Chain A
Amino acid sequence: GHLFQVEYAQEAVKKGSTAVGVKGNGVVVLAVEKKSVPKLQEERTVRKICLLDDHVVMAFAGLTADARILVNRARVECQSHKLTVEDPVTLEYITRFIASLKQKYTQSNGRRPFGASCLIAGFDPDSTPHLYVTDPSGTYTEWLANATGRSAKTVREFLEKQYSTDSVATLDLCVKLAVRALLEVVQSGAKNVEVAIMEDKKSMRILDIESLEKIVSEIEKEKEEEAEKKKPKK
């Protein structure tokens, strides 16, 4: 059988701008496509990477308004959990909460499913890194690396080929892999990408534009070198 509302919500996600998550050695990186804003629009009002608590960060693809509701509810739940259990949330717990919320809306009258797919990343209180993906139907899964939104399939295939423990052994390598994966489907340029870095017991860091430009130019160079190698030698 088909739950059409859920399928339509998943279609809405497929139309949203791409988001990529990569789990590395002691680091989790989220990279999102920054859609080009009209000249008169204030750029910083469109925030696709949201902090849920000191140790949990979330990016999404799909309807921004729907995701905003989820982010607000998740933020409250993070604090509520701290109050009742005297411990910060584990990634699994908050993902389960968001997924259960999404599921509730697929099974009640007068409501429609959320049109957003979330990438939830961070470190548990016991310092293990995690990356989870939720979907409008309310399912959640854990990944080493994944993408949602427009052309997510292409990005995921790229990651499947390129991801290995070596390719994410350091923070820089992990960031480069995430940006490279995103640039497969996004117009090349540092201004089209936003990167958030989560390290254990450190606050979330959004990569500044200069570092991003450096990484993008390094990626461009590596791509050219690979293209050269592939050219048939006379």
Chain B
Amino acid sequence: GCFKAVLNMVSIDTKFLFQDSCGLEGSIDHELRLDEFTGVIVPIPSSANRQKKTKDLLNQGVSFAPETFQDPREPKIKFAHGTTTLGFTLDKYVVVACDSRASMGSVIASNTVKKIVHINDFIVGTIAGGAADCQYWERVLTTECRLHELRNDEKITVAAASKLLANIMYSYRGYGLSLGVIMAGYDITGPSIFYVDSDGTRLKHHLFSVGSGSPHAYGILDSEYRSDLKEEDAVELARKAIYHATHRDAASGGTIRVVVIDEHGARSVWEGDMNELHEKYQKAKAKYRSDQMST
């Protein structure tokens, strides 16, 4: 740790001399950095080779990333992963919905996690994967978005914000971060959503669902989604999709939260326990069945 701090303070040439004399030459490969004065790309220790370095160090008995950190079958420390989050765009607004369960293996760690993060008044991000990673990096993204606003005197677009996050994720490839974020917002180009994950993937589409409950949510969304839905129908669709995912997926549950973002900003439109919805839908199903029987 201290050694690294010293390395960061000296110039490039001194760094390499230092490494030579300490006999570390062989284990460090080169990444590229843009020198702000000359505009020239200079080599510095690489992140792309971190995976190789991790494996090498593992052979020596040292490891950091979850895959090498502990046996995946017998984990000593379990990470919270199970979730269902979804988002879709309509003509003039975006709907985002999440459950609120954090599960560690077969233990429910919490049923009241806030999985929708407000990046700014017009953009939200969802949390899926490693809760700590998501919370931390979305917080970093919030600061970067605010800086963009201050420097350029204009609101950041959802495309730019998601690109910032995706680039950060890409530069940390191989470090074992775990994120599956849906970035949703309303900007000068209208409503849009992007999917960003810890590999550095960034995708644009009108409909996304992320998490262990996403297959169930997709079933509901794909059958009933239309781009011209009214707000109350869209919110009901989002609620229904999350409910069905929480019903069938053990790692999803708790309170369902739905957020709508339009030209006036992001607002929370519904928050309720999935068990209440369960009773409502069961009653509706019972009624449907009895109607069928009587006709």
Contact = CB atoms under 8 A, between A and B. Distances in A.
A108 B37 contact: yes
Interface string A86-100: 110010010000000
B1 interface: no
A86 B160 contact: yes
A84 interface: yes
Main secondary structure of the interface of B (DSSP, over half): helix
Interface in B138-175: 152, 157, 159-160, 163-164, 167
Contacts of A73: 39
A86 B163 CA distance: 8
Given A85-B163, A86-B163, A93 B36 contact: no
- Classify chain A's interface size: 10 to 19
A169 B224 CA distance: 55
Contacts of B164: 84
Contacts of A44: none
A68 to B, nearest CB: 12
A93 B163 contact: no
A72 interface: yes
Given A84-B163, A86-B163, A93 B152 contact: yes
B36 A85 contact: no
Given A84-B164, A87-B160, A76 B36 contact: no
Contacts of B36: 104
A104 B157 CA distance: 29
A202 interface: no
Interface in B84-120: none
A39 interface: no
A71 to B, nearest CB: 11
Interface in B25-40: 36-37, 39
B39 A85 contact: no
Contact of B157 (A72, A87, A111): A87
Interface of A: 72-73, 76, 83-87, 90, 93, 104-105, 108, 111
17 contacts: A72-B39, A73-B39, A76-B39, A83-B163, A84-B160, A84-B164, A84-B167, A85-B157, A85-B159, A86-B157, A86-B159, A86-B163, A87-B157, A104-B36, A105-B37, A108-B37, A111-B37
